[in-house]
Structure 1
Amino acid sequence: MKNYSLIVTLLLFSSILTAQKKEWTLEECVNYALENNIQVKLTELDVELSDIEKRDAIGNLIPNINAQAANAWNTGLTQNATTGILVNQTVRNFSAGVTAGLTLFDGLRNFKSLQRAKMSRIANEYSLDKMQDDIALFVADAYLQVLFNKQNLEVLKAQNEVTKEQLGRTQDLVEAGVLPEGDLLEIKATDADEQQRMILAENQIQISLISLAQTLGFRDYQNFDIVDRDYDIFGNEILENSVYDVIDTAKEERSEIKIAESNMELAEMDVELAKGAYLPTLSAFFNYNTRETGQNRIIGTEIDPNEPTRTIGFVEGTNQQVLTGNSIPVLGSPLPFFEQLYINDGITYGLRIDVPILNGFATRNRVRRNEVAVKRAEYQLEQAELDLESNVYQAYTDAKGAFEAYEAALVASEAQEKAFEYATERYDVGLTNAFDFSQAKIRFENTQREALRAKYDYIFKLKVVELYFGIPVRDLKF
């Protein structure tokens, strides 16, 4: 009985632990998103498709070998395969063969297709890198938003504790006749307003948690939560570099430029592939075939007993008939299956050349279209470089501005904290009314919230600059 109770207790304890929410760190969220986010998975499929394209290109360089076999029955008026006579019959025929073909020269299109497939895979890998960087930033932004909402709720709760203390103190002072009842009503209104804002803050936490979970690709919203911890500011020394250093590094490291460069190389390779159609195509072929039939075979001849002779002509002058023996074939059973296959086999082999002469300007137009695509890719590369310069400059400036805003918010928060302490002291001795006290408290609360917002805004913008500076997404420090 004691053992049974112990087992039940362990099971209940296990179920309680299972039902508890798993608290995720930022690093865990980023790693999970990189493995499970739908956009990342779609980009990974592009890489997989490029592998298939590469195998297709390799397949074009090796021979094509096909085998075929047929076993058919013909009923009705058909030709006897051994006598050549048309007769009403049901006959079975079997045929089989192996065909092989190899392209010896096609303007190097197959070889260049393999090169293009390799380049396409590299381009898709760059796209995957960019998608992973983007998802990591989305996750970090969403995570920091949840953290901001949680800490904002903590600020509201702390302020509400102060309000409740003041509410009790004011209640005592009103009952003692020191303060008017209007001050008590003012404090009660402040408490009700703070209670409402805490409810809204809790709702914002849940909404931001669901948004983060969706970014991760995590469906169990009820059991999803993040670790409640404060994040320090790491890596701000990167802003000691000039913006031009960051831009130069970004051009070497960022996937945007590599993607544009790869697209231009692919466009140039498409031109080479199209030009290959101007050249002849030389191919080799080989065919082995054999057959078997169920018809009777001719094993000899004999004189026709019904018509032993037949006229083959007349003697000139005398008009005398010239007769000969009228022989007819003697049929026997067909030869064994494999023996017929051995006797009736044959081989065909040779070379084939196809020379393009006129195809309605299709090849020429294809070449020109691909040349236009090369110019387009060149312009897109140039635009990608300009966009990257603009984005880096904007991110660098935003990070600098966010740091200054954060420092200003800290100064404002410290000043408002002192002002609130002074207002509290004056209110406690009756030198100020409840309205002025509430206003001082609201200003202090707003500066605390703004300091939190400025901090996480700066952390996020700093990480954007670090990514542009070539720091891998998994190496970002928070």
Structure 2
Amino acid sequence: MKINKYNSLVFALLFGFGLSSQAQTKQWTLEECVRYAMDNNITIKQSELDIKNSTIDKKDAFGNYLPSVNGNASHSWNVGLNQNITTGLLENQTTQYSSVGLSANVDIYKGLQIQNTYRRAKLSIIASQYQLVKMQEDIALNVANAFLEILFNKENLKVRKEQLSIDEKRFARSEEMVNAGTIPRGDLFDLKATVATDKQNIIVAENSLLISKLSLAQLLQLKDFLDFDVIDDTNAKDENNILAQNPVDIYNKAKEIRTDLKIAQTNLEIAQKNVVIARGAYQPTLSAFYNFNTRASYSDIVTGTTINTQNPTSQIGFVDGTNQTVLTNNFSPVLGSPDGILDQFSNNKGQSFGFQLSVPIFNGFSVRNNVERSKVSLEKSKIELEQKSLDLQRNVYTAFTDAKGALNTYESSVVTLEARQQAYNYAKEKYDVGLMNSFDFTQAQTLLTNAQSDVIRTKYDYIFKIKILEFYFGIPIVPIITK
């Protein structure tokens, strides 16, 4: 059931491709494919966003040089039993208060952590930019591989169609020879089976071509892959004569330009900054502060006093000897409206400023552990850089050996094809005069078809491996333009 669903999907795609191919007006070059991928590939867009994040982190690090300034304001209601700030007595009342303030703080010295954090942020931007370039390089190689895969499938399909055309003509000729009694009817059945096999091979080749186009279209983020096609560029030459270079020279050049090493080197520098930043926590920190505040009350204030008419005097004691009562006047406060809000804010202003020194003495080994942890990360970065260098050396020598081997295989396959072509021509002459049966002739033809496929396969394998070797030598698929 799964096979039937798959075949239905493939045939539907092939049918849609056949309908749309007539309206096709554009064939993409390799350079156009690579540049389009640079502008539209999702992975590259994510790397570009990473650069923006690193830029924001740099702004954060620069902000540590600047003072922090904060303003505050509040308005409160006190309901119920609370102290009257005017009389000092507890009363059941509702009072309102407003206050505003401003505070500023600036780090003067923090173990050089601010300076080193800013330097680390700049290194992080460089690392993100290198990461974007690496992603572009990887996408370019992937696009080139997918591009060459389409060319391979197109040539393979062409060979299969040519083979079908030859077999159909041979089948028609064989029918005439059978009717004339020149060859037995059994040979005609073999040819009929051969034609059917050729048609099956064409369907497989068409499916492979369609899938390879789909793969490249998805890599380019194209939605309509049915109208997508590439220019047939089948030049299998070492135009830059890269195989004439010495592997040592290619490796030395690669060490200077390879983005992998630049990323590893930048990560090492970041790890070194992390160690310095962690050690800065051992040192004391000095900061300066400034605070300003003022307030206003909405409660009545005492504007004066007057004799309490209900209880004008009260006894406070007696005179010695005469026992005469000593009285005092009882005064009651005279309340008035509070001053204006702006006047109160102006009259109640207060300021404070100074310096604050913090000396780390013991923090549960947290500073020490952070330093040790950053040292471990530094060692890992050193090992990673060394490993990247070893990997690059191995990859360069492997790429050089693979390219040479691919060239030799391609040249051998060309020689084999020439020999198979001569053998086929000889077999065809014998078959045409009745000196060879259909089975033996079909075997010669199959060997020729296999040789043609081997030439196509080895040619594009050689082209791609040359591209990889050129890539290590600093020759890009197309010049990469960073934004």
Judge same fold: TM > 0.5, yes or no.
Answer: yes
Partner of 2:382: 378
Query: SS state of the match for residue 353, structure 1?
Result: strand
Partner of 1:4: none
Percent identical pairs in the alignment equals 48
TM superposition shift of 1:210: 1.7
Letter in 1 for 2:144: A
Partner of 2:30: 26
TM superposition shift of 1:322: 4.2
Partner of 1:165: 169
- Residue 128 (structure 1) aligned with residue 132 (structure 2): yes
Between the aligned partners of 1:258 and 1:81, the Cα distance in structure 2 is: 69
Query: SS state of the match for residue 87, structure 2?
Result: coil
Is this contact kept in 2: 1:96–1:289, CA < 8 A? yes
Equivalent residues in 2 for 1:24-63 (5 A)? 24-63=28-67
Deviates more, 1:52-61 or 1:326-335: 326-335
Between the aligned partners of 1:306 and 1:458, the Cα distance in structure 2 is: 117
Between the aligned partners of 2:22 and 2:80, the Cα distance in structure 1 is: 78
Between the aligned partners of 1:158 and 1:120, the Cα distance in structure 2 is: 57
- Residue 439 (structure 1) aligned with residue 443 (structure 2): yes
Give the counterpart of 2:262 among 258, 263, 277. Answer: 258
Letter in 2 for 1:385: S
Is this contact kept in 1: 2:153–2:209, CA < 8 A? yes
Question: Structure 2, unaligned stretches of length 5 or more?
Answer: 1-19
Give the counterpart of 1:75 among 79, 87, 94. Answer: 79
Letter in 2 for 1:132: Q
Give the counterpart of 1:149 among 141, 147, 153. Answer: 153
Partner of 2:421: 417
Partner of 1:395: 399
Could you say if the C-alpha distance between residues 319 and 100 of structure 1 is closer, same or farther in structure 2, counting changes exceeding 3 Å? farther
Partner of 1:179: 183
Between the aligned partners of 1:274 and 1:223, the Cα distance in structure 2 is: 57
Between the aligned partners of 2:303 and 2:211, the Cα distance in structure 1 is: 93
Partner of 1:294: 298
Deviates more, 1:88-97 or 1:152-161: 88-97
Partner of 1:464: 468
Letter in 1 for 2:27: E
Equivalent residues in 2 for 1:196-275 (5 A)? 196-275=200-279
Query: SS state of the match for residue 444, structure 1?
Result: helix
Equivalent residues in 2 for 1:300-315 (5 A)? 300-311=304-315, 315=319
Could you say if the C-alpha distance between residues 317 and 18 of structure 1 is closer, same or farther in structure 2, counting changes exceeding 3 Å? farther
TM superposition shift of 1:91: 2.1
Is this contact kept in 2: 1:256–1:384, CA < 8 A? yes
Aligned residue-pair number? 461
Is this contact kept in 1: 2:410–2:462, CA < 8 A? yes
1:6-50 Cα distance to aligned partner (Å, 9 max, x none)? xxxxxxxxxx99964753222222112222222222322322221
TM-score (norm 2): 0.91
Letter in 2 for 1:378: K
TM superposition shift of 1:325: 2.9
1:96-127 Cα distance to aligned partner (Å, 9 max, x none)? 11111100100010110000011111112112
Partner of 2:14: none
Partner of 1:11: none
Equivalent residues in 2 for 1:80-99 (5 A)? 80-99=84-103
Is this contact kept in 1: 2:236–2:462, CA < 8 A? no
Query: SS state of the match for residue 221, structure 1?
Result: coil
Between the aligned partners of 2:225 and 2:85, the Cα distance in structure 1 is: 77
Between the aligned partners of 2:356 and 2:208, the Cα distance in structure 1 is: 73
Is this contact kept in 1: 2:74–2:100, CA < 8 A? yes
Between the aligned partners of 2:299 and 2:59, the Cα distance in structure 1 is: 47
Between the aligned partners of 2:462 and 2:45, the Cα distance in structure 1 is: 30
Between the aligned partners of 2:391 and 2:358, the Cα distance in structure 1 is: 48
Could you say if the C-alpha distance between residues 315 and 148 of structure 1 is closer, same or farther in structure 2, counting changes exceeding 3 Å? farther
Partner of 1:474: 478
Between the aligned partners of 1:316 and 1:149, the Cα distance in structure 2 is: 129
Letter in 1 for 2:373: R
Query: SS state of the match for residue 91, structure 2?
Result: strand
TM superposition shift of 1:279: 0.6
Could you say if the C-alpha distance between residues 318 and 357 of structure 1 is closer, same or farther in structure 2, counting changes exceeding 3 Å? farther
TM superposition shift of 1:337: 1.9
Partner of 1:7: none
Is this contact kept in 1: 2:236–2:460, CA < 8 A? no
CA RMSD of aligned residues (A): 2.0
TM superposition shift of 1:198: 0.3
Could you say if the C-alpha distance between residues 215 and 312 of structure 1 is closer, same or farther in structure 2, counting changes exceeding 3 Å? farther
